[in-house]
Structure 1
Amino acid sequence: MITINTSDNKKVYFASDQHLGAPTAAESFPREKKFVAWLDSIKENAEAVFLLGDLFDFWFEYKTVVPKGFVRVLGKLAALKDAGIPIYFFVGNHDLWMNDYFEKELNITVYHTPQEFLINNKKMLIGHGDGLGPEDKGYKRMKKVFTFPFFKWLFRWLHPDIGVKLGQYMSVKNKLISGDEDAKFLGEENEWLVQYCKRKLASNHYDYFVFGHRHLPLEIKLQEDSTYINLGDWIQYFTYGVFNENELHLKKY
């Protein structure tokens, strides 16, 4: 478990689901600029920054090639990290093919599964949120295929001009990857991430569960001393989480 203690007047920030590149590079460019402006606005008082996945709508790392674009957000993340601000990145279902580019080029830690953090003595379980709980079975099957080493090896043999274009098309169009259901609140009893959190609480206490993936800004009390937070997105809501001293809440940029 990683421990973070904030200094005076410092805060911990959380954001997810920017989906840069979707539906086209031109249409996502204003959102990239807005997200970069937000990163710039928090640099003076950020103790740490958590990015909870789907920063890109499609991402695949060849051995010597990454998708074209996103230089502004990558440059800003590099500047924050160079300024001494820890950044923790969790891969989502759209950037699950991320390997070591962020770690080597930006010195940013990358996680592929949810992780426990202790922030000012508040225990948190943090991750993207895809594939958790008993539901989402279609996606779980798809993820096993997409992350199977042999299929990744086959895809890598496609020329990047073909592979990236194909991946971007599938990411935007395929409902299994970009499902519309993420935009609708299903009711607390039908929200599978809520049910996942409640099951985790049966064996281990967490003050906060922090996830993305659902594209909805949600703050749901699970118990008197435990809260599930979904960060929303940077497509429609432009919401983020901020932990200030001992409480975590959502805000809108």
Structure 2
Amino acid sequence: MDIPSGKKIYFASDNHLGAPTSKESLPRERHFVNWLGQIQKDAAAVFLLGDLFDFWFEYKYAVPKGFTRTLGKLADLTDQGIPVYFFVGNHDLWMNGYFEEELGIPVYHSPQEFQLNDRHFLIGHGDGLGPGDKGFKRMKKVFTNPLSKWLFRWLHPDIGIRMGQYFSVKNKLISGDEQAEFQGEENEWLVQYARRKLQQKSYDYFVFGHRHLPLDISLTPQSRYINLGDWIRYFSYGVFDGKSMTLEYHKKPL
């Protein structure tokens, strides 16, 4: 992707809209939609790196109720010709065509390589990567199993969605409380993952979410690992101006 002069690429992750309740997450949703409106004037593209929703499951003819402001704004961006790329997270991994068909947004279920101007990026949500996260790796195999998804679809949406929302909020990782502290480079499994990938191929930037903690770590003189933080506590996001990438912070909602 060639970035036009004066344009930027924006990255955001881990909004967990709908948690802990729709009412309580509404100010955060409005804040996020306000940010999308602000960046619209100079965005060459927007990357959303997962857990936009705290729970999302697509039935054949139904999706979870709510998120009208967010979905409408994303449609507005794509209608204006601004490409949006979505990477599923561990809370919204059950996507099955709705974003592509209704919003024109491609959805990725694994990390992807992008070349933005002359910089090479590896981008993803970050769950299940590296040597850690073993509990989630086992859980993800169950959740992504075709039989598991088929069985869940037989639940009426009123039951299935309510059940999914309940267990999703019960997951303590939603707030990042269990992972909010920096563990040191040697114990950050996404840093270890990035270092191993550098042994196979050169990248300028590794960009992930999932950790709920803004991080900008130099891996080599030419390569950096960036974690985008979240829109629960930090309201942090990434900006690439065509030459370098920075972490920035949106003003917290009142």
Shift of 1:97: 0.5
| Aligned counterpart, 1:62 | 59
Identity over the aligned pairs, expressed in percent? 70
Counterpart of 2:183, as a letter, is L
| Structure-1-length-normalised TM-score | 0.97
Report SS of the residue matched to 2:91: coil
Do structure 1's residue 211 and structure 2's residue 237 form an aligned pair?
no
Q: 1:53 aligns with which of 50, 53, 56?
A: 50
Residues 137-176 of structure 1 aligned to structure 2 (within 5 Å)? 137-175=134-172
Deviations 1:203-224 (A, max 9, x none): 1100000000000000000000
Give 1:1-253 correspondences, 5 Å limit: 4-175=1-172, 180-253=177-250
Partners of 2:176 and 2:80 in 1: CA distance = 37
Gaps of 5+ in 2: none
| Contact 1:21 1:56 (8 Å CA) reproduced | yes
- Give CA-to-partner distance per residue, 1:104-150, whole Å, 9 cap, x none: 00010100000000001100000000000121111000000001011
Q: Match for 1:246: what amino acid?
A: K
Cα drift, residue 21 of structure 1: 0.2
Deviations 1:79-110 (A, max 9, x none): 00000001100000000101110000001010
Q: How far apart are the structure 1 equivalents of 2:180 and 2:155?
A: 33
Listed one character per residue, the Cα deviations across residues 2-34 of structure 1 (whole Å, up to 9, x for unaligned) are xx1111100000000000000000000000000
Counterpart of 1:249 in 2: which secondary structure? strand
Residues in 1 aligned to 2:171 and 2:84: alpha-carbon distance in whole angstroms: 30
Distance 1:16 1:179 in 2: 13
Structure 2 residue identity aligned to 1:174: N
Judge conservation of contact 1:116–1:125 (CA < 8 Å) in 2. Answer: yes
Tell me how far 1:62 sits from its aligned partner: 0.3
Structure 1: 5+ residue stretches without partners:
none
Measure the CA separation in 2 of the matches of 1:71 and 1:190.
Answer: 39
Q: CA deviation at 1:176?
A: 7.0
One-letter code aligned to 2:163: L
Tell me the distance in 1 between the aligned counterparts of 2:212 and 2:16: 11
What residue identity is the alignment partner of 1:173?
K
Partner secondary structure for residue 179 of structure 2: helix
- Deviation (angstroms), 1:175: 4.0
In structure 2, C-alpha distance between the alignment counterparts of 1:182 and 1:164, rounded to whole Å: 26
CA separation in 1, counterparts of 2:233 and 2:222?
30
Tell whether the 8 Å contact from 1:171 to 1:178 is kept in structure 2 after alignment. no
Matched-pair contact (CA < 8 Å) for 1:52–1:92 = yes
1:245 Cα shift? Answer: 2.3
How far did 1:183 drift? 1.6
d(CA) in 2 for partners of 1:252 and 1:153? 40
SS at match of 2:178: helix
